[in-house]
Amino acid sequence: METEEKPQEVEQRQEPGILAAAVFAHLAGPRAAGVDCDQLLLHAGIDLPTAMAPDARIGREQLARLLRRLWDELGDESSGYLARPWLPGTFAMMGHATITCPSLRRALLRSARFVDMVSDDLHIKLVEDGEEARLIFHHENRKQLPNQNFVESLSVIWLRFFSWLIDRTILLERVHLAFPPPDYPEEYADMFPCRHYFHQQETCLVFNTRYLSMPLVRDAQQLSEFLSRAPECLLSQYKSDNSYTGRIRRMLQSDNSIENLSLDDVAERLYTSPQTLRRRLKDEGNSWQDIKDSVRRDMAMYQLKGQETAVAEIAERLGFSEPSAFNRAFKKWTGLAPGAYREKYRG
């Protein structure tokens, strides 16, 4: 007899607020611009001694008030990080510029063009590589500020806003960050629910190209309502991803032992039967093999680009019976054999 998932096992996302350390990191730009940030915190209803306590958190409504006051005082929605300020309303104009696009691909490309028009030292680029898309964020940081939190925040805003535009959570394969790990690593599970790689050459969000052909489903009226609730609506995940697809991906990624997990193992962990799990995945437009191949592809690409591991060892790690099977699969995913793919990126 099939069993449904136990209610107590359904993921429940709490909204405990933002770690104060992450908020204080974002104030580097305003402080360099001469803003009295302590006074701003006070006006936003944030008690500074309390916020300075270890592991203290700041409520999302308080943070939204802080950001609005900050943008008003600076006249800059970039919070002082960009060489040319983003005048109040810049993000809204970007939204209106993209809302008429037919697909996510066109919307991301148009947003990148918009950013180039209003910025001298910030660039966003969409790169497609086989079944993998990379949304790259490059900040030249001409003001020489501690800019990690600014780039992180910008990446999160783009991810959540464009997920809202297609009414679908964009599931990340991984995120690359051109920084060392921050002092607030616990925030990353909320910011980027995927694997994180620090000390990379570029900061980018990596996801499957299938999202790029998805249509935008919002209209101008919905956009105006969304913007009226900003920035609150961008301070938390657009939607909690409780889909079976997303949960299985996280399971396979976190175990780092993809070859040891079968469909039966996964079904047992999700408190359901293999038959029910197959049916639920089909309803979501996926299959067990599709998800497993997606995670394998992601792991293979990363290891070929950034590690010296032999191709045969990578194939074994990913659960392929022999290197030739891995070679065939990888060429199907990317159009290149593993060795050629590695050589391309080293070149």
Same domain, 219 and 87: yes
Position 2 scores a pLDDT of 42
Residue 74 placed within a domain: no
Same domain, 184 and 250: no
Residue 184 placed within a domain: yes
Position 144 scores a pLDDT of 95
Same domain, 86 and 230: yes
Q: What per-residue string of b and e applies to 188-221 under the rule 16 or more CB within 10 Å gives b? A: bebbbbbbbeeeeeebbbbbbeebbebebebeee
Tens place of pLDDT per residue across the chain (347 aa): 344 444 333 333 445 678 888 899 999 999 999 999 999 999 888 988 888 888 888 888 889 899 999 999 999 999 999 999 999 999 999 999 999 999 999 999 999 999 999 999 999 999 998 888 999 999 999 999 999 999 999 999 999 999 999 988 888 888 999 999 988 777 787 788 788 889 999 999 999 898 999 999 999 999 999 998 888 888 765 455 567 887 888 788 765 556 678 889 899 999 999 999 999 888 777 788 888 887 888 788 878 877 778 888 888 888 888 889 899 888 888 788 888 888 887 65
Residue 148 placed within a domain: yes
Position 67 scores a pLDDT of 92
The 10 Å Cβ neighbour count of residue 57 is 19
Enclosing domain of residue 136: 81-234
Total structural domains in the chain? 2
Instruction: Report phi then psi at 95, rounded to 5.
Output: -60, -45
What CA–CA distance (Å, rounded) separates 4 from 276?
8
Residue 197 placed within a domain: yes
CA distances from 5 to 262, 280, 286 (A): 18, 12, 19
Residue 119 placed within a domain: yes
Residue 271 placed within a domain: yes
The answer, yes or no, to whether the previous bond of 231 is cis (omega within 30 of 0) is: yes
Same domain, 106 and 230: yes
Same domain, 230 and 262: no
Same domain, 219 and 290: no
Same domain, 230 and 86: yes
What CA–CA distance (Å, rounded) separates 219 from 225?
10
Same domain, 111 and 253: no
Position 213 scores a pLDDT of 95
Cβ neighbours of residue 53 closer than 8 Å, sequence gap 6 or more: 20
CA distances from 275 to 2, 266, 278 (A): 8, 12, 5
Same domain, 143 and 222: yes
pTM > 0.85? no
Same domain, 257 and 196: no
Same domain, 105 and 211: yes
Residue 301: DSSP 8-state: H
Residue 170 placed within a domain: yes
What CA–CA distance (Å, rounded) separates 181 from 199?
8
Name the residue type at position 301: M
Q: Which of 212, 234, 256 is where one domain is finished?
A: 234
Q: Which of 188, 212, 234 is where one domain is finished?
A: 234
Position 111 scores a pLDDT of 98
Sign of CA dihedral 115, 120, 124, 128: positive
Q: Which of 173, 199, 234 is where one domain is finished?
A: 234
CATH of the domain at 273: 1.10.10.60
* Closest residue by Cα to residue 57 from 186, 238, 161, 233: 186
Q: H/E element holding 64?
A: helix 60-74
User: For the range 155-160, what are the long-range contacts, defined as Cβ-Cβ under 8 Å and sequence gap of 24 or more?
Assistant: 155/192, 155/203, 155/205, 156/191, 156/192, 156/234, 157/91, 157/234, 158/111, 158/124, 158/205, 159/192, 159/205, 160/234, 160/237, 160/238
Same domain, 258 and 218: no
Residue 326 placed within a domain: yes
